[in-house]
Amino acid sequence: MDFQWPGFLLLLGLIPSIVLLYLWAIRRRRRYTVRYSSLALVREAIPRTAWLRRHLPISLFLMGFASLVVALSRPTATVIVPSGKATIMLALDVSRSMCSTDIPPNRLQAAKAAVLSFIDRQDQNTSIGIVAFAGFAALVQPPTFDQDILREAVRNLTTARRTAIGSGILEALDAIAEINQSIAPSVSGSSSVIQPTPVPEGVYASDIIVVLSDGASNSGPQPMEAATQAVERGVRVYTIGYGTPSGSSMDCGRDGFHEQFFSNGGQGYGGGGFGGGGFSGRFRRGIDEETLMGIAEMTGGEYYSATSASELHDVFKQLPTYLLTREENSEISVAFNALGMLLAGLAILLSMIWHKFP
């Protein structure tokens, strides 16, 4: 604890003087009593609790006085305060490898169940957004508090070709920038937009990005370059490597794998998600764990590995959904003022009640 006006603490030196004056008054009263009264009769007449009634009010008064002196010195202390409302952006890999059945019924369905469970556990004040990425990334659902809308967006996710982890991170950054004015939107390598000033090292925004991928990036910007933009904005990225070590057959559903093309040339989000369908074949797990670990480490996040549906559920339980806090130096003289007034008032009240006792 620090003091803005420490000179006023010298007033605490009055307390020993007040105590000495109080003791002198008591001794003087005792001499008077011995001279003009019978000591035996006085002791017999005084209740056993008289010492408490005699000394408690002055003790409370002195503590109240000390508290008021401390308040006058304007004490400050480091307190933990919220740094703002947090947004959680879920960037989900919906490449065709998510149709792999090594995690039944397939990776995508198991991932959907884990994400839905994650959404169900959040309170109504948690803002969540969803980005899906395959060959390109798209904002499936902007950050919202409406859990019903989030659930519907997750259920509609289907698969498409290729994997663009970097695009997923940048799309999530842009979604955060739309609602958090302190976060600058992403910029492309050829963009003429002025680059944002990087935040100081170790300073993080309240918002986080969670990237779930079962493969290696083979499309779009490099993941580490996208992570660098997250670092410059103080946005932590938590990554999840998803899938089993061995390959397995793929099954994306009954409708057959299909692609839909939008005006931006992307490969498709059918029904609000990526277009998907049945595809048979073998897939060898190709998670780029080194890149996912690097993204998490450089942004201040953490890397998780999940090889089963239960492990993925556990990973989502470990994600930091709490509100980011910061340390702030704040004046706390109000607390000492209140305590001092309370103690002084109590001392006066007890003195008025017990005034007839010595």
Q: Is residue 100 part of a domain?
A: yes
Q: Are residues 152 and 119 in the same domain?
A: yes
Residue 254: pLDDT above 90? no
Q: Are residues 68 and 96 in the same domain?
A: no
Omega within 30 of 0 (cis) for the link into 16: no
CATH number at residue 244: 3.40.50.410
Lowest mean pLDDT among 124-128, 201-205, 326-330, 350-354: 326-330
Q: Are 252 and 282 in contact (CB under 8 A)?
A: no
Q: Are 315 and 304 in contact (CB under 8 A)?
A: yes
Q: Are residues 142 and 247 in the same domain?
A: yes
Q: Are residues 56 and 94 in the same domain?
A: no
Exposure string over 33-69, b if 16+ CB within 10 A, otherwise e: eeeeeeeeeeeeeeeeeeeebeebbbebbbbbbbbbb
Q: Are residues 54 and 67 in the same domain?
A: yes
Number of domains in the chain: 2
Q: Is residue 215 part of a domain?
A: yes
Alpha-carbon dihedral angle through residues 53, 58, 62, 67, given to the nearest 10 degrees: 50
Q: What is the pLDDT of residue 268?
A: 43
Sequence-distant (6+) residues with CB within 8 A of 201 are: none
Q: Is residue 346 part of a domain?
A: yes
Q: What tens digit of pLDDT does each residue of 132-159 get?
A: 999 999 999 999 999 999 999 999 999 9
Dist CA 138 CA 73 (whole Å): 56
Average pLDDT over residues 18-42: 66
Lowest mean pLDDT among 41-50, 85-94, 282-291: 41-50
Q: Are residues 135 and 223 in the same domain?
A: yes
In this prediction, residue 322 has a pLDDT band, given cuts at 50, 70 and 90, of low
Domain that holds residue 222: 84-323
